[in-house]
Structure 1
Amino acid sequence: MRGSDYAELKAFVTIVAHGNFARAAAELGMSASTLSQTIRALEARLGLRLLNRTTRSVSLTDAGERLHARFRPAMIEMEAAVRSVVDARDTPAGTLRVHLPSVAAATFLEPTLGRFHAAYPDIVLDVTIDGAVTDIVEAGYDVGARLGEFLEADMIAVQLGGEQRQLAVASPEYIARYGRPNVPGDLLQHHCINWRQPGGKGLYKWEFLKDNTWFSVAVNGPLIVSHREMALAAAVQGVGIAFWAEDLVRPLIEDGKLVPLLEEWCGTFPGWFLCYPSQRYTPPSLRAFVDFLRRDSRPAETARRNRNGS
C-alpha cells in the first residue's frame, strides 16, 4: 500500500465517521474541496463509487459498506500499533480526544485542569463539550463520560464520584406567585422548563422515586432548552420550575436565588462514568487521564468549598 493509498482510505473512514465532508476535513486538517478531490481520486483508482453525496447528507454505497467494514478495523489496529511505539516512553504525552457533556465537564474536569496540566504537561487535552450521546469510537474520541444508564456493554467504565440526584427548583418570586407543587403530579399545573437532549427529538421526562419505584412526569411550560444552564438562568428569573443536578443548583439555593421542591421525591441514581473502548493496548496518556480523574477529581461543590477555604 502506497502512502497516498492509506491517506485516501483514512479520509474515506473519517467522512463515514462524521457523515459530513466539512467536519471530516476539519479533523484531517484540509479543506473540504481537497477532501472531495481525495475521495474522487480513490473512487477513480478503485473504479467504484463509495459514497452517495447530496447537498444535505453522505451515505455509503454497497461497495463503500464492504470497504468500510473491512478497512476501518485494520486502520484502528495500525494506528494503535503506531501509538504504542510513540507512547512507549516514561512520560505520558500526545493528544487525548475527550468527549464530555457539560455537567460532567463542569463537575469533574474543570476543577482539575490546572492540577492535571501540572502533573502531565506533555498531554494535550482536546475536549469537546457536547450533550449528545455519541459513539465515541466512531467519532474518533479516546474517552468520554456517560451516566450509568447510558453505558454501552462493550466499553470499559470507571465511576467518577458517587451517586447523583436531580432537584426541582424555582425562584422565591415564582413560588410566591404560583405556589409549590406538593407531589410530582402537581407539576402538570405549573410552568416547567423543559429540556431536550442535543441531537434528540423528544423532551426529557422528569424522573422521581417513590417506594423504590421510579416514575416519570412529562411536564409543560413556556421554555424548552438544549442547555440546562439556560434553564437555571430562566428559573432564577421566575420563568418556571427547572430540574437539574443537585451539585450545580445547590449554590443558587444557598444564595437564596432558588428554592428546592419535591426533595422527598428526588432519588439518587448511579452517577458519571468515564468510558473508553476495550483494547489490547491502552496508551499511557489515556491511562494517566483516567487514573487522575478517578483518584483526584472532586465534584464542583467540593472544589468550591476548598477554594473558599471552608
Structure 2
Amino acid sequence: MRGSDYAELKAFVTVVGHGNFARAAAELGISASALSRTIGELEKRLGMRLLNRTTRSLSLTDAGERLHARFKPAMMEMEAAVQDAVSSRDRPAGMLRVHVPNAPAAAFLEPVLGKFHAAYPDVVLDVTVDDSVPNIVEAGYDVGVRLGESLEADMVAVKLGGDQREIVVGSPDYIARHGRPREPADLLRHRCINWRQPGSPGLYKWQFVKNGRWFSVTVDGPLIVSHRAMAVTAAVQGVGLAFRAEGLLRSLIDQGKLVPLLEEWCGNFPGWYLCYPKQRYTAPSVRAFVDFLKRSTGPRGRTSAR
C-alpha cells in the first residue's frame, strides 16, 4: 500500500462503523467534506463505488461489503499490534545481547543471574563471555562491559564496583629458585607468563606506575595463554610470574600459594564499566539491566574482576 492507502481505508471503515459522515469525521478529527473527498479518492483509485450515498442514508455496495468484511479485521489486528507495542514500551522485555569479559562475568554477572531473572522474567539475556574487545554497536550488542581505558566514543558508561589493581605474583618455589624482582626492569630477567587478549595480535604489556606516571614492560617467558585464569594456575605450579587483579589472587596469597611482588609499583585504575550506545531512546531492558547491576555491585560491590 502507498502511504495514504491505510488512511483512506481506515476512513472507509470508520464511516461504515458510524453510518454517518459527520460522526465519522469527528472521530477522525477532520471535516465531513474532507472525509467525503477521501472516500471519493479511494473509490476513484479502486475504480469502483463502495458506498451508496444520499442526503439521508448511507449503505454499502456489494464491493464495499466485501472490502469491509476483509479489511476491518485486518485493521483491528494492526491497531492491536501497535497498542501492544506501545503498552510494552516501559516494560523490560525481549532479547538483551550482552558482551562481557571472563573476569567481570564471574565477579559481577554470574552471582546475580537468578535475582535478575526473578525481577525481569520477560527479559531474555543473550550473554557472550569473551575477552576480545569488539565494537559494541557494530557487533550487534545492546550492552557491554569494558575497562575504562577501552571505552568507545558516544557510549554511556556506568562504573561497576570500585577501582582495580593488578599485581605481580609468583609461587614460593619459583622465588626460592629465581629470587625476587626488585623493580619492573628486573622482570626482563625472569620467566613471566604472558597473556594474549583474544582478537589482539600482540601480547598484553604489564603496567606499572612511578611518581604518578604509568609505563609498561614487555615480558617474556615459557607460557602464553588466552585465558588469564590459566596463567594464575601456572604461577601456582611454579611455571613463572603472573600479573593479574589483586582481588582475584587474594585467597591464593592468603593460603601461601602465591607471593605478591613489586606492590609499590602497582597502582590503582578505574576498573570496569557497563556501557551502551548514547541515543535518545534507551530500551527498558537496557535500563533495567544497567540499573540492576549498578545496584548489585555499587562502590562497595565486588571489585576483584580483571
Query: If the length of structure 2 is used for normalisation, what is the TM-score?
Result: 0.69
Segments ≥4 residues shifted beyond 4 Å: none
Alignment partners' CA distance in 1, 2:166 and 2:181: 16
Match of 1:128 in 2: 128
Match of 1:187 in 2: 187
5 Å matches for 1:1-310?
85=85, 88=88, 91-297=91-297, 298-299=301-302
Equivalent residue pairs, number: 221
Alignment partners' CA distance in 1, 2:87 and 2:136: 21
Name the SS of the counterpart of 2:185 in structure 1.
helix
Match of 2:6 in 1: none
Alignment partners' CA distance in 1, 2:202 and 2:230: 18
| Structure 1: stretches of 5+ with no match in the other structure | 2-81, 303-310
| 1:256 aligned partner, one-letter code | G
Contact 2:193/2:222 (<8 A) preserved: yes
**Aligned-pair CA distance for 1:89:** 5.1
> What is the alpha-carbon root mean square deviation over aligned residues?
2.0
| Structure 2: stretches of 5+ with no match in the other structure | 2-81
Structure 1 pair 106/86, CA: closer, same or farther in 2 (3 Å)?
A: farther
Alignment partners' CA distance in 1, 2:294 and 2:276: 14
Alignment partners' CA distance in 1, 2:264 and 2:248: 18
Alignment partners' CA distance in 1, 2:105 and 2:97: 14
Moved more, 257-266 or 104-113: 104-113
Name the SS of the counterpart of 2:202 in structure 1.
coil
- 1:30-59 C-alpha deviation (Å, 9 max, x unpaired): xxxxxxxxxxxxxxxxxxxxxxxxxxxxxx
Alignment partners' CA distance in 2, 1:218 and 1:87: 56
| 1:135 aligned partner, one-letter code | N
**Aligned-pair CA distance for 1:90:** 5.5
**Aligned-pair CA distance for 1:190:** 0.6
| 2:246 aligned partner, one-letter code | E
**Aligned-pair CA distance for 1:88:** 2.3
| Larger of the two Rg values belongs to structure | 2
Alignment partners' CA distance in 1, 2:195 and 2:119: 37
| 2:118 aligned partner, one-letter code | A
Contact 2:169/2:241 (<8 A) preserved: yes
Match of 1:46 in 2: none
Structure 1 pair 177/125, CA: closer, same or farther in 2 (3 Å)?
A: same
**Aligned-pair CA distance for 1:301:** 5.9
Contact 1:164/1:268 (<8 A) preserved: yes
Contact 2:274/2:290 (<8 A) preserved: yes
Structure 1 pair 91/261, CA: closer, same or farther in 2 (3 Å)?
A: same
**Aligned-pair CA distance for 1:214:** 0.5
- State the identity %: 70
| 1:201 aligned partner, one-letter code | P
**Aligned-pair CA distance for 1:128:** 0.2
Structure 1 pair 87/257, CA: closer, same or farther in 2 (3 Å)?
A: farther
Structure 1 pair 86/218, CA: closer, same or farther in 2 (3 Å)?
A: farther
Contact 1:164/1:271 (<8 A) preserved: yes
- 1:178-198 C-alpha deviation (Å, 9 max, x unpaired): 111111111111100011110
Match of 1:38 in 2: none
**Aligned-pair CA distance for 1:219:** 0.6
Alignment partners' CA distance in 2, 1:101 and 1:301: 13
Contact 1:157/1:273 (<8 A) preserved: yes
